[in-house]
Structure 1
Amino acid sequence: YLRFAVSKYHKCLQFLFQVYGDVFRHQHSRQPFSILVGSGVQLSFVVLCLILLAMSVDMNGERAGLVSAAIFLYFGVVAYRRIRWRSFIFEILFSVNCYYSSNNGQAASPRWIRQGVAQALLPPSLICGVAFPVNLVAVGYHSSRSLTPSQGLSVLAIVTFALLPLSLIGTLLGRNLCGRPSKLPCRLNAVPRPLPEKRHCLAEPPIICLLGGLLPFASIFVEMYYVFTSFWAYKIYYVYGFSFLAFALLLCATACVTIVCVYFLLNSEDYRWQWCSFMAGASTAVYLYVYAVYYFFFKTRMYGLYQTAFYFSFMALFCCGLALICGAVGFLAASLFVRTIYANVKTD
């Protein structure tokens, strides 16, 4: 039995040896990849701090208290009226994503200024791309939720005088404090290894990425019902302790499933694991959006163009944020796994 186990172990590692010289090869679109991962890291910190803040302070008594705290955590300059925190703490928190993004893309992109600006403009671009069409519909329906020109100028001022400076500061810190990128555990081949044909359809990267989000979504399926109910049915949500457990379970499930997906990808002699690890974690948002469609038709009584556009647009924005968080966590876990495996492997 011991001989059989050892032979099976070496057979499993044989496929990992085939991509030994290409597993750390940089893939295409390195700068957008580092921007997406950096944004996911930042959102993870924001969500974690927001849940801990909601667990320690009662924010249901004030209107839009949780939303105000989220904006304060994200931008670092919007004061929350009931909680007197110093703004520099949250400015440092905003710089986390640019710090990590600069460290991750330092070797990939020498144009760090463009990367810092793109890092700062990515979240506002997503929000404006969703909110602007919905705002046009709201203006057509004469809704009180439509944004006024003064509010639009306020958002533009926040982006110009808060996001851009903090992004550039975080990028500078990432470049100067992190130093050179860490040394790779193995050397890269001069010529990329050709990819072999897949033995079955389950070894294809799109299939692996799509299946990777199923288990993480199952870990938050029950909790999402209460979150949707509190947001769309206007009911008070107060079980933030369960939210913390659900968020921790989501991160753990995403990390574990992404490691398994990357292992299957490397086992099929495919070394393109960077984007696959990110998309495997981000695919959780696909299942969540499908559930949001089900919730709209069977759990709500919304009707009309404005309510439909408002619901699906902002659920798409919510799913984009979840995709960034899960994708960043998946890539970090897969990167640690791959570095650990190939740092301890012996090719002789």
Structure 2
Amino acid sequence: MKQVPLLFLTVLLSIRVRFILPKRDNSSSCRSQTEIQLFVNRLDSVESVLPYEYDVFDFCKDEKEKRPSENLGQVLFGERIESSPYKFKFKSAATCQPVCTKTYKKDSKLDAAKLDFLKMGMQLNYQHHWIIDNMPVTWCYDVEDNQKYCNPGFPIGCLVTDGGIAKDACVINAEFNKKNTFYVFNHVDIKISYHSGESEGWTGDRLVAATLEPKSIKHAVDKPPSCDNGSPMEVPVEFKEDVSITYTYSVTFVENNDIKWASRWDYILVSMPHTNIQWFSIMNSLVIVLFLSGMVAMIMLRTLHKDIARYNQVDQVNWIKNPGRFNITLKTNNHEDAQEESGWKQVHGDVFRPPRKGMLLSVFLGQGTQIFIMTFITLFLACLGFLSPANRGALMTCAVVLWVLLGTPAGYVSARLYKTFGGEKWKTNVLLTALLCPGIVFADFFLMNLILWVEGSSAAIPFGTLVAILAMWFGISVPLTFIGAYFGFKKAAIEQPVRTNQIPRQIPEQSFFTKPIPGIIMGGILPFGCIFIQLFFILNSICFVLVASYFTVTDYHWWWRSFLTSGFTAVYLFVYAVHYFFSKLQIIGAASTILYFGYTMIMVLIFFLFTGTIGFFACFWFVNKIYSVVKVD
């Protein structure tokens, strides 16, 4: 009977992984004399949280629009892929080919609204995201130190302010110099590289790279388009006369047998400066790891070794066993010194006393365990290459499915700890484990989705997808949580190395830095510092919690304190997110601001449970090891 749930989970996970693993793209085979379809994705901006579908802007549309099927991860990320009117014949170069012409009449309110929305996109630096053969079309240009930067998107256009300041992409062209004017990138030079199989014994060609260069060219309305040395396509800020924008493209094909199809994404990753390994951050993190590990080692070698040596003098003590209790008779001259207990041994009879609000703590730990296992498996599969970037949305799909299937360990950990705490309301415990934290996240997510829906953003989740998420939650995750809780309550409570006294002992007076609130606030500083430099943050969090746990073992309310000390890192993360919002971002609009902080709160809650769970179990293991060294009866 015990093997049924495990078998069920294994089968479901294997089925899901079967669809997650990257598969060979049949479209990468023979390309001779075939049509290449360019797909467009949503447009987004670093200055706005709201992404928009391609059709929302007044661009050229495909008459026979096709939308590839999207998985759960793509829908949650707001990806909206559709076909475009840009179609090419393989190895057939084209120069200044017209796509369509958009005309805006100054007397038409509808045209004015369309043009205003296009101007808004240029002002906020919204970016196109094009796809060829399931590969992003990148805009590569030179930066400092003769390095090449490749951006997986390119801007709609740019703006020169009334003060003559060229914003964003307007700095790339000296001709963009007219004040209070928008410049539309209405022409693209596309270069497609392919790998030929003639020299390798196989027939056909495979696309291995696709780049473009956006340009702004003003075409004559009544003449065929010409892309040679044309003046930029200007759109005045004030709409006082008719505006016509002609969209064109040029495409060339280049044979490149140095790039293998299996590694065709590498040029995108290698060329990005921000993806280079930050050696300074690595060294900084290593120093922090060594520093914290040295602190733990010093404490263990000096303080604990000294205490244990003193307590091991029990060889001079005769233990006389009486029915129902233990008495101690000392043969040493200094009876009072031998009987005195101090430090971490002072509260050996209370250290495992059940915490206050043990129900809530067990629920948090159950959810944190679920998140921790989900994160570990997802990162493990990603590191092995199973979650290929070619399989769009696979990372998010894998994370969501794993979270749903990992309800069993969440219920088990929550129930087992709640039973250890002496709790008896097992129904309430299971329901809170299954519904509390996911309910908070879903409520926040639903509110953000309403705002996205009102704003017409492509990131708004369709109603059917919301129903599917609820079905997965209540139909799979909740039952699995009950199964895990059943085995957790059926299992015996966690055995403690020492017994708990019936009457709590008074907690000794503590210094300011070891009191709960100051200790919790300071506890998250070093873990946050490691998170800030994006390396070894899990290891560093565990090390610091071990240090903090020793200084607080004289306080038997360590259960919540160990959880909150490491979990307080999430508070620093939120503070930094607020600082980043006001100092780095230029987000405009109340909706974008609400969305930013709404999604930030979801991230902070998940991170709070994640780090808090790691800290609790690290401290739990540490305290158990301390009180297992010397058995106290």
TM-score, structure 2 length as denominator? 0.45
Once the two structures are superposed, residues 26-81 of structure 1 have per-residue CA deviations (whole angstroms, 9 ceiling, x without a partner) of 01111111111111111111111111111222532243332112112111xxxxxx
Which blocks of at least 5 consecutive residues in structure 1 are unaligned?
A: 76-90, 224-245
Equivalent residue, structure 1, for 2:357: 29
Equivalent residue, structure 1, for 2:129: none
Asked if residue 222 in structure 1 is aligned to residue 533 in structure 2, the reply is yes
Asked if residue 71 in structure 1 is aligned to residue 71 in structure 2, the reply is no
Once the two structures are superposed, residues 225-261 of structure 1 have per-residue CA deviations (whole angstroms, 9 ceiling, x without a partner) of xxxxxxxxxxxxxxxxxxxxx3xx3222222211211
Which blocks of at least 5 consecutive residues in structure 2 are unaligned?
A: 1-301, 312-340
SS in 2 for 1:172: helix
Equivalent residue, structure 2, for 1:45: 373
Asked if residue 282 in structure 1 is aligned to residue 611 in structure 2, the reply is no
Asked if residue 209 in structure 1 is aligned to residue 520 in structure 2, the reply is yes
Residues of 1 paired with 2:562 and 2:304: CA distance? 29
Once the two structures are superposed, residues 275-330 of structure 1 have per-residue CA deviations (whole angstroms, 9 ceiling, x without a partner) of 00000110111111122122222333322111111111111111111111111111
Contact 2:409 2:481 in 1 (8 A): no
Residues of 2 paired with 1:343 and 1:327: CA distance? 24
Match of 1:187 among 499, 516, 528: 499
Between 1:52-61 and 1:158-167, the stretch displaced more is 52-61
Match of 1:9 among 303, 306, 314: 306
Asked if residue 161 in structure 1 is aligned to residue 472 in structure 2, the reply is no
Residues of 2 paired with 1:347 and 1:109: CA distance? 25
Equivalent residue, structure 1, for 2:424: 110
Residues of 2 paired with 1:41 and 1:155: CA distance? 21
The aligned runs of 1:260-279 (5 Å cut-off) are 260-266=547-553, 269-279=554-564
Equivalent residue, structure 2, for 1:19: 347
The Cα of 1:123 is off from its aligned counterpart by 3.5
The Cα of 1:8 is off from its aligned counterpart by 9.7
Residues of 1 paired with 2:574 and 2:365: CA distance? 21
Percent identity over the alignment is 30
Contact 1:209 1:261 in 2 (8 A): no
The Cα of 1:109 is off from its aligned counterpart by 2.3
Match for 2:584: what amino acid?
K
SS in 1 for 2:407: helix
Higher helix share: 1
SS in 2 for 1:105: helix
The aligned runs of 1:50-199 (5 Å cut-off) are 50-55=378-383, 56-75=385-404, 91=405, 93-107=406-420, 108-176=422-490, 179-198=491-510
Contact 2:416 2:494 in 1 (8 A): no
Structure number with greater CO (CA < 8 Å, separation at least 6) is 1
Contact 2:498 2:632 in 1 (8 A): no
Between 1:18-27 and 1:59-68, the stretch displaced more is 59-68
Equivalent residue, structure 1, for 2:593: 308
Higher strand share: 2
Residues of 2 paired with 1:167 and 1:7: CA distance? 40
Equivalent residue, structure 2, for 1:294: 579
Match for 1:119: what amino acid?
T
SS in 1 for 2:432: helix
Contact 2:563 2:616 in 1 (8 A): yes
Q: Kindly tell me: are residues 132 and 30 of structure 1, through their superposed partners in 2, closer, same or farther at Cα, counting changes over 3 Å?
A: same
Residues of 2 paired with 1:203 and 1:6: CA distance? 17
Q: Kindly tell me: are residues 197 and 47 of structure 1, through their superposed partners in 2, closer, same or farther at Cα, counting changes over 3 Å?
A: same
Equivalent residue, structure 1, for 2:314: none
Contact 1:277 1:330 in 2 (8 A): yes
The root-mean-square deviation of aligned C-alpha atoms, in Å, is 2.4
